[in-house]
């Protein structure tokens, strides 16, 4: 198998995984926020240097590069999207303004919180004279002369992108298609997205929001991916460039640039794909919590019954204050708690950690790059958990004195405590914040964290994953051999896929098999058209599902279909049973006599580009010498503990905590009252003693 590359651009570091035959190599380089493509090229140069190659020599050997990127999300957060207009049915101009309401997670009666601004300003919202009924009948024909007037205004206001979301276009898209035709004629070069293509589902706000987000990102993502591909080609890369989507799939870069809504949450979606692989390879069951701890955020996702749950409630920014994509994505909970999260004491004397982060530049104080704020990384360094001379395998030396000075100024002196006590408080609060993020997503998915394996991923995961597991009551923590770059590893495992859906309401009391089978046939045809562009020798699969609810409920849940067509009443009965069972798992009740409404029918086509199992990490095994110890903070005191090299741990042998396990890219802090071993897969498995689970160390 030729060399394959996977790159994940994070807030602090850009990770690279190189798969060469049955060996994996991990590399990190600082992210370059001003132009993420620079960070991609930098980490490729870092890897090439370590392998004794030029960057060109490395790229000429590769035939596949998979990229997970935060460029789309960052563009929305920073307001660097295109000047976008919103066209909607006359009488409904406030879809993006009024949203759906809701203040979950916000102070219910705190009216000092300003009402969130719509994604597209009201001044760039235009009402289109037309109306289609829920059954698809045209009630008010589209007024072509009015479209000409709207085009004049769009041109005068310098609009770069147009989102079109008309009522019931998911049933009859004729008016949206006519608008696209007219807009393309009058405004050549302006990007256009139609809601019935982007997100053919119920609920106007979600459909409108996803369409507006999609088209606003088209110029940004086209420019970024175009520039990245051009620079890679100039450096000698001749292979395929794929980008990971928010659903944990891959698309060709050019295709994704034209459907950039798929790129929101691109990077974090790779981690649960890797977790799914690792938990199966290690034989640790079908339920796992995967935590990807980076420098800026702590991202949590699930593997539930061997599958990765999805959600349509993906927010960019704070829930109800940010913007909802309304688009099916891997269910990820993120909090601002990572290695670069800033610690501070407020005017009331309360300690806070995050959500603000130092990012890649200037980074934590200990990096010596001009940062002066205390961070989680500074705290771990002061507590003796990180070796200042072995950060990134010794390529970067950390300054303990700068870390202590920052913690003293920001936390210790304001609280009147010692430097070490302040560092311990920072770590404890970060741990509590991370545990809270896990509780939110596990309980909401019907998973008891005590019954799941916690997978520690990301460069900073090892600092407190065991403490988090103890806080949650988890008995097992898995640190994969590729865990320091778990999202990038996931990029090598993602399938080349696409997802298609069609709206069509069918009730369980009068289930029209012919109607449903017609919908499934159309979806199947779209999947097979996708496969026409894929080599015949690539394994592929088509999976069908439906989003359903009890009659009169507000929200749907996703149910996989056991069959591609409903041929008998038994097939229908199996679907009904699956819905009741999943609903019971998620919400703890079933209504077996109640009617079910099936709303959105979906098909996913997946192609596995892999021809061999994922390899294991290959390292130079230059970790700590045998018998090494370090003084660190354990069980409330500074004490000497053994230091092990991750890759030099003998397979199968058991060790007792406390201890420190090191690789060039991460450090694992193993608390007391635990045992750990390196299993045959190359990963480290930590078991917490039953009597001490759920209690602080």
Which residues is 286 bridged to in the sheet?
none
Q: If pLDDT is split at 50, 70 and 90, which confidence band does 243 have?
A: very high
240: pLDDT strictly greater than 90: yes
Mean of pLDDT values over 24-33: 88
103: pLDDT strictly greater than 70: no
Distances (CA, A) of 229 to 40, 168, 248: 11, 38, 21
Q: Which helix (H) or strand (E) holds 85?
A: strand 84-89
554: pLDDT strictly greater than 90: no
Mean residue pLDDT across the chain: 91
With beta carbons less than 8 A apart as the criterion, state whether 96 and 72 touch: no
Task: Read off the tokens for 529.
Answer: 């058209």
pLDDT digits (tens, 9 = 90+) for 483-525: 889 999 999 999 999 999 999 999 999 999 999 999 999 999 9
Chain centroid to Cα 114, Å, comes to 28
**pLDDT of amino acid 527:** 96
Query: What is the spatial distance between Cα 457 and Cα 37, in angstroms, rounded to a whole number?
Result: 24
**pLDDT of amino acid 337:** 81
**pLDDT of amino acid 625:** 66
The full length of the chain comes to 697
**pLDDT of amino acid 94:** 94
**pLDDT of amino acid 327:** 86
Burial 157-186 (b: 16+ CB within 10 A, else e): eebbbbbbbbbbbbbbbbbbeebbebbeee
Distances (CA, A) of 326 to 135, 198, 335, 503: 23, 10, 20, 15
pLDDT digits (tens, 9 = 90+) for 140-188: 999 889 999 999 999 999 999 999 999 999 999 999 999 999 999 999 9
Task: Read off the tokens for 148.
Answer: 């000409």
Task: Read off the tokens for 468.
Answer: 């988090």
643: pLDDT strictly greater than 80: yes
**pLDDT of amino acid 695:** 47
578: pLDDT strictly greater than 60: yes
Higher pLDDT, 535 or 388: 388
Share of the chain above pLDDT 70, in %: 96
Share of the chain above pLDDT 90, in %: 68
455: pLDDT strictly greater than 50: yes
Between strands 23-30 and 131-132, the pairing is unpaired
411: pLDDT strictly greater than 60: yes
**Which among 323, 322, 268 is positioned nearest to 300, based on CA atoms?**
268
**Which among 268, 267, 242 is positioned nearest to 256, based on CA atoms?**
242
**pLDDT of amino acid 620:** 52
* pTM for this prediction: 0.89
**pLDDT of amino acid 105:** 57
Q: If pLDDT is split at 50, 70 and 90, which confidence band does 104 have?
A: low
């Amino acid at each position: 198998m030729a060399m394959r590359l996977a790159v994940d651009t994070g807030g602090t570091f850009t990770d690279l995984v190189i798969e060469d035959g049955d060996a994996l190599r991990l590399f990190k380089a600082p992210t370059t926020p001003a132009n993420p493509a620079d960070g991609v090229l930098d980490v490729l140069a870092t890897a090439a240097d370590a392998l004794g190659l030029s960057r060109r020599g490395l790229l000429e050997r590769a035939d596949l590069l998979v990229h997970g990127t935060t460029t789309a999300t960052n563009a929305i957060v920073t307001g660097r999207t295109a000047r976008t207009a919103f066209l909607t049915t006359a009488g409904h101009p406030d879809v993006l303004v009024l949203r759906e309401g809701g203040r979950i997670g916000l102070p219910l009666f705190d009216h000092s919180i300003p009402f969130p601004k719509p994604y597209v300003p009201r001044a760039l919202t235009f009402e289109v004279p037309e109306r289609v009924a829920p059954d698809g009948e045209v009630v008010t024909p589209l007024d072509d002369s009015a479209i000409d007037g709207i085009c004049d205004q769009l041109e005068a206001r310098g609009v770069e992108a147009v989102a079109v979301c008309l009522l019931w276009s998911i049933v009859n898209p004729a008016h949206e298609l006519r608008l696209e035709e007219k807009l393309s004629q009058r405004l050549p070069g302006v990007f256009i997205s139609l809601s019935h293509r982007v997100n053919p589902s119920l609920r106007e706000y979600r459909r409108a929001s996803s369409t507006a987000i999609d088209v606003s990102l088209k110029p940004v993502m086209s420019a970024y991916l175009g520039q990245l591909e051009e620079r890679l080609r100039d450096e000698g890369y001749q292979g395929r460039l794929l980008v990971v989507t928010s659903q944990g799939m891959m698309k060709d870069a050019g295709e994704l640039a034209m459907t950039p809504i798929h790129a929101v949450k691109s990077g974090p979606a790779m981690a649960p794909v890797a977790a799914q692989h690792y938990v199966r390879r290690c034989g640790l069951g079908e339920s796992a919590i995967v935590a990807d701890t980076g420098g800026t955020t702590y991202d949590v996702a699930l593997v539930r019954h061997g599958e990765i749950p999805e959600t349509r409630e993906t927010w960019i920014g704070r829930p109800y204050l940010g913007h909802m994509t309304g688009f099916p994505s891997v269910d990820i909970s993120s909090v601002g708690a990572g290695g670069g999260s800033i610690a501070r004491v407020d005017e009331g004397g309360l300690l806070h950690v995050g959500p603000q982060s130092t990012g890649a530049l200037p980074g934590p104080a200990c990096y010596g790059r001009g940062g002066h704020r205390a961070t989680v990384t500074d705290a771990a360094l002061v507590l003796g958990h990180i070796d200042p001379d072995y950060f990134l395998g010794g390529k970067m030396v950390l300054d303990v004195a700068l870390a202590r000075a920052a913690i003293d100024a920001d936390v210790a002196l304001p609280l009147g405590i010692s430097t070490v006590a302040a560092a311990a408080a920072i770590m404890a609060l970060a741990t509590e914040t991370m545990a809270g993020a896990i509780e939110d997503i596990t309980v909401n998915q019907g998973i008891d964290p005590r019954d799941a394996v916690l997978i520690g991923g990301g460069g900073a995961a090892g600092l407190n994953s065991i403490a988090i597991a103890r806080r949650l009551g988890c008995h097992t923590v898995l640190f994969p051999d590729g865990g320091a770059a778990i999202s990038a590893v996931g990029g090598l495992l993602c399938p080349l896929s696409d997802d298609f859906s069609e709206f069509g309401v069918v009730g369980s009391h009068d289930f029209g098999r012919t109607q449903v089978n017609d919908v499934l046939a159309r979806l199947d045809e779209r999947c097979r058209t996708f496969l026409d562009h894929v080599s015949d020798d690539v394994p592929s699969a088509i999976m069908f599902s439906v989003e359903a609810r009890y009659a009169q409920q507000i929200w749907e849940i996703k149910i996989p279909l056991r069959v591609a067509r409903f041929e008998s009443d038994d097939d229908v009965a199996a679907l009904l049973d699956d819905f009741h069972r999943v609903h019971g798992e998620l919400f703890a009740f079933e209504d077996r006599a109640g009617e079910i409404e099936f709303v959105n029918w979906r098909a996913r086509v997946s192609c596995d580009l892999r021809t061999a199992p994922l390899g294991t990490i290959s390292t130079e095994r230059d970790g700590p010498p045998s018998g090494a110890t370090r003084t660190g903070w354990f069980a409330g005191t500074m004490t000497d503990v053994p230091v092990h090299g991750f890759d030099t741990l003998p397979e199968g042998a058991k060790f007792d905590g406390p201890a420190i396990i090191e690789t060039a890219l991460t450090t694992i802090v193993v608390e007391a009252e635990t045992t750990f071993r390196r299993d045959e897969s190359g990963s480290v498995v930590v078991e917490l003693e039953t009597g001490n689970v759920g209690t602080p160390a």
